[in-house]
Amino acid sequence: MSLIVQKFGGTSVGSIERIRAVAARAVAAQQAGHQVVVTVSAMAGETNRLVALVEALSSRYNKREYDVVVAAGEQVSIGLLAIAIEAMGFRARSYLGWQVRFLTDSVYSKARIQEVEGFRIREDLEQGYIVIIAGFQGVDEAGNVTTLGRGGSDTSAVALAAALQADYCDIYTDVDGVYTSDPRIVSSARRLARISYDEMLEMASLGAKVLQTRSVELAKKYKVPLRVLSSLEEGEGTLLTEEDELMEKVVVSAITHNRDEAKITVLGVPDRPGVAATIFGALAEATINVDMIIQNVSASGETDLTFTVPRGDYQAAMDVLAVPVKQIGAKELRGNRAIAKVSAVGVGMRSHTGVAQRMFKALAADGINIQMISTSEIKISVILDEKYMELAVRTLHDAFELDKDAGDRVIA
| Helix residue ranges per DSSP H, 229-271 | 245-248
Taking residues 144 to 163 in sequence order and writing x for each that binds ligand ADP by CB under 6 A, - otherwise, the string is -------x------------
At residue 164, the 3 state secondary structure works out as helix
**CA distance linking residue 36 with residue 28, whole number of Å:** 10
- Rounded (10°) CA dihedral 238, 207, 230, 14: 160
> Which amino acid is located at 146 in the chain?
T
Q: At what angle do helices 153-164 and 213-221 cross, to 10 degrees?
A: 10
- 231 sits near ligand ASP (criterion: CB under 6 A): no
Cβ nearer to ligand ASP, comparing 42 with 321: 42
Quick one: which segment of 208-216, 296-304, 364-372, 404-412 binds ligand ADP (CB under 6 A)? 208-216
Taking residues 9 to 28 in sequence order and writing x for each that binds ligand ASP by CB under 6 A, - otherwise, the string is xx------------------
Quick one: which segment of 104-112, 151-159, 196-204, 404-412 binds ligand ASP (CB under 6 A)? 151-159
Helix or strand (DSSP H, E) at 396: helix 389-399
Which contacts (CB < 8 Å, 24+ apart) does range 270-273 have?
270/302, 270/303, 270/328, 270/329, 270/330, 271/297, 271/301, 271/302, 271/303
CB of 290 to ligand ASP, least distance (A): 23
Would you give the DSSP letter of residue 222?
Answer: T
Q: Using CB under 5 A, which residues numbered 145 to 164 contact Mg ion?
A: 151
Among 161, 164, 175, 393, binds ligand ADP (CB under 6 A): 175
Among 12, 47, 215, 238, binds ligand ASP (CB under 6 A): 47
Q: Are 240 and 216 in contact (CB under 8 A)?
A: yes
**CA distance linking residue 72 with residue 56, whole number of Å:** 17
Cβ nearer to Mg ion, comparing 104 with 173: 173
Buried residues in 26-60 as b, exposed as e (16+ CB within 10 A): bbebbeeebbbbbbbbbbbebbeebbeebeeeeee
- 210 sits near ligand ADP (criterion: CB under 6 A): yes
Quick one: which segment of 41-49, 162-170, 252-260, 308-316 binds ligand ASP (CB under 6 A)? 41-49
- 116 sits near ligand ADP (criterion: CB under 6 A): no
Cβ nearer to Mg ion, comparing 9 with 324: 9
Residues that bind Mg ion (CB under 5 A): 9, 151
Residues at the interface with ligand ADP (CB under 6 A): 9-12, 41, 151, 173-175, 178-179, 181-184, 208-210, 254
- Residues within the interface to ligand ASP (CB under 6 A): 9-10, 41-42, 47, 73, 135-136, 150-154
